[in-house]
Structure 1
Amino acid sequence: MQVHNVQQGTPEWHALRSSYFTASEAPAMKGASKFQTRNDLLSMKKTGIVPDVTQQQQAVFDRGHAAEEMARPLVEEDIGEELYPIVGTSGNLLASMDGATMLGDVLFEHKLWNEKVVAQIRTGELEPHYYWQLEQQLLVSGAERVIFVCSDGTRDKFVSMEYRPVPGRREELIAGWAQFEQDLGEFVPQQAKAVATGSAPDQLPALRIDVTGMVTASNLDAFKAHALAVIGDINTELANDQDFADADATVKWCSEVEDKLKAAKEHALSQTESIDVLFKAIDDITAETRRKRLELEKLIKARKEIIRSDIVMDAAKALQVHIDQINETLNSRIRMPKVMADFAGAIKGKRTIDSLKEAADAELARAKIEASRIADGIRANLKSLNELAIKHGFLFHDAQELVLKANDDLVALIKVRINEHEQQQAELKRQEDAQKAAAATVTPVTEPEAVPQVTEPTPVVAVATAAVAPITQTPADDGQRIKLGDITSRLGFTLSAEFLRSMGFEAVERKQGAQLYRASDFPRICAALVQHIQSVQSDQAAA
């Protein structure tokens, strides 16, 4: 870690932070921050524009810093060592520690008293919003642990826990920043949007009706023309948050117009029993308003579903593009497995278009990181196969499945397969040498007169057969299986299931059309084949 002589909160500190990925930004990068989205962080890093701190926020920060200064001596008392605020960097990562011991093996991180945080500390289970910051502090500093404190600066309101690196999180954090840096290069900041507030059409003029058995005064014709014109101009093309907000407000407006028209009609009815023209006009306006309201309600629901579906599909396509790019860097015979991503689940409960996109983007980033992690594992395994099994490629026709294993497991499996193969080859060589030696000991018949009487080749067969190693007893089933195709690949010639059955070897399973045999039977199969070949040879010699 490189230590920087800057004080937290100073302009120099802010300038330094702008050039690094900081620990306090790690939760947002992981899509786990309570205060900032991943896209907002991308925009801030891309443009360099940092949101202004409100007076209310600054007041909270000031209380937090004051409580931190008061809590530091309490932690020093608990651990028996002094703590010093420190700012450090490692690579492109930065961490500002509220305190560190002189040896740098223990860190101190303070949060202002908060009942929810207190509950997490007491159970020892922190939310990602907190633990990603701590993981980066440990990564940058190289410390062993963090004393995570939540307090108001007094002993009465003071809780703490010890946080140590959790296996796997450090690698996930590094991969997350790598993906973030890649996304940052391609990110195009969007123009800042104001919060969408609904805007309904202008209010209709008040409908005036006076009746005395007949309509004596009414602006009904002008009212109707104006009302139908306003209703006809209502936007039904919903594309963004503003359109949806306007539509929601207009639905309420339509409902209010319906209620007012109904009230006007009832008022008129109270003055006269029947005025067809008046009622027909009111009914027409009411029907048109209702029709528009129902149309908008359906459009809002349908359009939102289309937009949600489009966002999910676009994210899925982007993930597939990422996987395709990875596949281009791998061996032509190896392909990436399916990387799970729940985009539909990620956007569940989101209301605005911006929040839908943000949730989908966060899940996309997570899936890309996971895909890159899998790809790195595949590359490491391919390297191991190339280095350790370059002369025994025929033993690894299942490479597609093997490269998905942990590298240590794969290396062990490679060594076992090669060792088994070499032992089998050695056994075959031993049996072949024994056969040759046995054949050499057969004394040919030399007396001319005895030749016509030799009709039985039994002694020759007996001697030759005696050199064949007996087939060992059936070993215990260890659960390992081998395909018929793999058996033939190892031997270098084709065998049929029927032929193996004739020698006493039955398939124990079938999987996707493939015959599976016990892997532990392979040495016995080899020995049986040798015996069969020698028997055929002897029969030919005796013919």
Structure 2
Amino acid sequence: MIIINVQQGTPEWHSARAKCFNASEAPAMMGVSPYMTRSELLRQKATGIVPDVDPATQRRFDDGHAAEAMARLLVEQNITGEDLYPIVATDDTGRLLASSDGATMLYDTGFEHKLWNEELAAQVRDGIVPESHRWQLDQQIAVFGFEKIIFVVSDGTTERFVWCAYRTTPERIARLMAGWEQFERDLAEYVPEPAAEAAPVGCAPEALPALRIEVTGMVTASNLEAFREHALAVFSGIKTDLQTDADFADAERTVKWCKEVEDRLDAAKQHALSQTATIDELFRTIDAIKEEARQKRLTLDRLVKSEKEARKLQIVTQAHQALVAHVQQLNARIAPASIPSSMYAPQMFGEAVKGLKSLDSMRDKVGTLLANAKVECNAVADRIDANRKTVEDMSLMPDFAVVCTKSTEDFAALLAMRVNARREAEEKRLAAERERIRAEEEAKAQRTAREAQAEMDRQAAAARAAEQAKLDAERAELRRQQEFIEAEQRRQRDAATVQAAKPAEKPEIVVAAVSEESDEKITLGQINARLAPVKIDAAGLAQIGFHPVGKERAAVLYRESDVSRICAALVRHLSAVSGQMREAA
């Protein structure tokens, strides 16, 4: 806020207002002022020409200032409880100006006074500030930062004193700013037209001379020829190219004038008929003049209606074309989205001029509607642009063209709902995928376990078969050795039997052979040759209790007499092993 140290009503105050957009002008800018149209405000801002204040208006201003001073005291005493100070300031840019009739020291409350008016007072008494005054208060709040404004209608007395508190909304402030921005653009493109001092009233052609006819059975005196020539000259000079409100007013007045000419000719004809029964030439002349007047009247009447409709259509069409061009520029900025077509339908301008008579009133109404429509389209385009920037993944908004015009809060809520829905769907998909993978892994594990078990069973079976084969081989080997031992035992028995069958004369030799151990030596290789195909090494013989008795070079030597005991020990060992294998089987 930039405070301007001027007093309201002074030349310095008027000078400051001339450079800014003023709060008191906001209703006119928005097209809701009962005192000034938007077109008139554009003209004043473009030309700097302000109508002079007449004495009656000045007296009303003076009365308003006097009532304002007294009302301020009543507000301080009965409402705010603190002093109010008139203030003039602009916003930080110096572009918008506001003059407050009073403000508190902290600028939390403002005061605006209007001179007593019964209709306005009735609305304020019901707690309503009319739209024609609200935009002024909105701009004061925008400039000063008031939380509220005490809006008073009074004549300075307690008898005629009504008030209500007014608070604005961020949406109205934004709408006000957008309105001034559009007004500024229109002002830059404005080409002022001469302002009419008063509405045209129209004028008819000059009066025709009085038609004088005297008859006494015949026409005795008449200026009919001169009247006809003059009338036809006047008719031919009537303007039928209608462009301005003045042209239409002239044409409408001329239509009435032509009807008066027809009526006067009828009266003259009737007067002549009262003097003579038939005067053919007189009647033909009068009828011709009358018909000319009638035709001209009908032509002008049709022209007035058709041309006024044409001008009305032109005003409406030009406004719609201007709005369409503006929307096309916005659509290029927010593509692929677009402004809803309902916001620039041509019917809106046709409805605006319904019931209006003058072209100026039509232009003003349509111009105000066009400016407001541009502001609304700008706001929608900004909203669409802002909404689009919040969407990182447009696949979430396949219907963006339909929902893009929602308020930022509603759009954000819709976007959040769709983001959550997609996240939940993705979580469900991932959960299902994890479950599928888990099931596949579980099935794979079970299949692997079955295959592993089958492989283990196969290996176990193969191991059992190998063990069984080994056991069978060992049993076969054991049987073979057993058979060898049994054969060796049979051989020894047979040898003993043979020895026992020898002659008795040599019993001492047998006893000596049996009782005494031989000192002869035998090598390990010779032992294995006797045991073949069984083979045993020195370590194996040591385990069954037989140790070498010497070495001859590399050969290990054992007693010859131990061979039978070695065989017996092997038999015992093999028998024990065989028994163990039978138990294991």
Length-normalised TM-score, structure 2 = 0.73
Q: How many angstroms apart in 2 are the aligned matches of 1:305 and 1:403?
A: 38
SS of residue matched to 1:441: helix
| Pair 1:237 & 2:262 matched | no
For each residue in 1:411-469, what CA deviation from the matched residue of structure 2 results, as whole angstroms up to 9, or x when unmatched?
A: 33333333234323422431342243133224267679x99xxxxxxxxxxxxxxxxxx
Instruction: Flag the 1:166–1:408 CA change in 2: closer, same or farther, 3 A.
Output: closer
Match 2:391 to one of 364, 385, 395: 385
Q: CA contact under 8 A between 2:129 and 2:166: conserved in structure 1? A: no
Whichever residue aligns with residue 77 of structure 1, its letter is Q
Matches within 5 A, 1:507-518: none
Instruction: Flag the 1:250–1:364 CA change in 2: closer, same or farther, 3 A.
Output: same
Instruction: Flag the 1:412–1:269 CA change in 2: closer, same or farther, 3 A.
Output: closer
- The structure having more radius of gyration, on CA atoms, is 2
Match 1:436 to one of 416, 440, 452: 440
Which residue in the other structure is 2:56 paired with?
A: 56
For each residue in 1:484-526, what CA deviation from the matched residue of structure 2 results, as whole angstroms up to 9, or x when unmatched?
A: xxxxxxxxxxxxxxxxxxxxxxxxxxxxxxxxxxxxxxxxxxx
Match 1:309 to one of 310, 313, 326: 313
Q: How many angstroms apart in 1 are the aligned matches of 2:406 and 2:399?
A: 12
Q: How many angstroms apart in 1 are the aligned matches of 2:416 and 2:445?
A: 39
Match 2:140 to one of 137, 140, 153: 137
Matches within 5 A, 1:280-299: 280-299=284-303
Q: CA contact under 8 A between 1:339 and 1:367: conserved in structure 2? A: no
Which residue in the other structure is 1:371 paired with?
A: 377
* Structure number having the greater helix percentage: 2
Q: CA contact under 8 A between 2:110 and 2:150: conserved in structure 1? A: yes
Query: Is 414-423 or 133-142 further displaced after alignment?
Result: 414-423
For each residue in 1:311-347, what CA deviation from the matched residue of structure 2 results, as whole angstroms up to 9, or x when unmatched?
A: 11211111111110001111x3222222435212211
SS of residue matched to 2:106: coil
Which residue in the other structure is 2:341 paired with?
A: 338
| Pair 1:203 & 2:207 matched | yes
SS of residue matched to 2:384: helix
Equivalences, count: 444
Which residue in the other structure is 1:328 paired with?
A: 332
Q: CA contact under 8 A between 2:99 and 2:140: conserved in structure 1? A: yes
| Pair 1:106 & 2:106 matched | no
Q: CA contact under 8 A between 1:32 and 1:128: conserved in structure 2? A: yes
SS of residue matched to 1:155: coil
Which residue in the other structure is 1:456 paired with?
A: none
SS of residue matched to 1:76: helix
Q: How many angstroms apart in 2 are the aligned matches of 1:415 and 1:280?
A: 89
SS of residue matched to 1:340: helix
Which residue in the other structure is 1:172 paired with?
A: 175
Q: CA contact under 8 A between 2:109 and 2:147: conserved in structure 1? A: yes
For each residue in 1:183-237, what CA deviation from the matched residue of structure 2 results, as whole angstroms up to 9, or x when unmatched?
A: 1111111122343231211111121212111111111111111112211221122
Q: How many angstroms apart in 2 are the aligned matches of 1:217 and 1:353?
A: 49
- Shift of the alpha carbon at 1:305? 1.6
For each residue in 1:154-177, what CA deviation from the matched residue of structure 2 results, as whole angstroms up to 9, or x when unmatched?
A: 111111111111463222111111
Q: CA contact under 8 A between 1:339 and 1:371: conserved in structure 2? A: no
- What is the aligned-residue RMSD (CA, Å)? 1.9
| Pair 1:162 & 2:168 matched | no
Mind listing any 5+ residue stretches in structure 2 that lack a counterpart? 459-585
SS of residue matched to 1:443: helix
Which residue in the other structure is 1:24 paired with?
A: 24
Q: How many angstroms apart in 2 are the aligned matches of 1:410 and 1:246?
A: 57
For each residue in 1:53-77, what CA deviation from the matched residue of structure 2 results, as whole angstroms up to 9, or x when unmatched?
A: 1122111111111111121111111
| Pair 1:181 & 2:184 matched | yes
- Shift of the alpha carbon at 1:289? 0.7
Matches within 5 A, 1:188-227: 188-195=191-198, 196-227=200-231
Whichever residue aligns with residue 99 of structure 2, its letter is S
Match 2:267 to one of 229, 243, 263: 263
Q: CA contact under 8 A between 2:211 and 2:223: conserved in structure 1? A: yes
Q: Identity of aligned pairs, percent?
A: 50
Whichever residue aligns with residue 85 of structure 2, its letter is Y
Q: How many angstroms apart in 2 are the aligned matches of 1:217 and 1:409?
A: 90
Match 1:278 to one of 269, 273, 282: 282
Match 1:248 to one of 230, 246, 252: 252
SS of residue matched to 1:111: strand
Q: How many angstroms apart in 2 are the aligned matches of 1:78 and 1:374?
A: 44
Instruction: Flag the 1:423–1:406 CA change in 2: closer, same or farther, 3 A.
Output: farther
Q: How many angstroms apart in 2 are the aligned matches of 1:212 and 1:318?
A: 70
SS of residue matched to 2:220: strand
SS of residue matched to 2:101: strand
Query: Is 79-88 or 417-426 further displaced after alignment?
Result: 417-426
Q: How many angstroms apart in 1 are the aligned matches of 2:322 and 2:431?
A: 54
Mind listing any 5+ residue stretches in structure 1 that lack a counterpart? 452-543
Q: How many angstroms apart in 2 are the aligned matches of 1:219 and 1:213?
A: 17
Whichever residue aligns with residue 302 of structure 2, its letter is K
Whichever residue aligns with residue 375 of structure 1, its letter is A
Q: How many angstroms apart in 2 are the aligned matches of 1:432 and 1:383?
A: 38
Which residue in the other structure is 1:422 paired with?
A: 426
- Shift of the alpha carbon at 1:125? 2.3
SS of residue matched to 1:236: coil
Q: CA contact under 8 A between 1:23 and 1:132: conserved in structure 2? A: yes
SS of residue matched to 1:404: coil
Which residue in the other structure is 1:319 paired with?
A: 323
Q: How many angstroms apart in 1 are the aligned matches of 2:9 and 2:50?
A: 14
Q: How many angstroms apart in 1 are the aligned matches of 2:272 and 2:174?
A: 76
Match 1:126 to one of 116, 124, 129: 129
Q: How many angstroms apart in 1 are the aligned matches of 2:165 and 2:397?
A: 47
Which residue in the other structure is 1:360 paired with?
A: 366
- Shift of the alpha carbon at 1:359? 0.4
Which residue in the other structure is 1:14 paired with?
A: 14
- Shift of the alpha carbon at 1:405? 2.3
- Shift of the alpha carbon at 1:406? 2.4
Q: How many angstroms apart in 2 are the aligned matches of 1:134 and 1:370?
A: 21
Q: How many angstroms apart in 1 are the aligned matches of 2:297 and 2:68?
A: 56
Which residue in the other structure is 1:410 paired with?
A: 411
Q: CA contact under 8 A between 1:201 and 1:230: conserved in structure 2? A: yes
Match 1:351 to one of 350, 353, 357: 357
Which residue in the other structure is 2:44 paired with?
A: 44
Q: How many angstroms apart in 1 are the aligned matches of 2:223 and 2:437?
A: 118
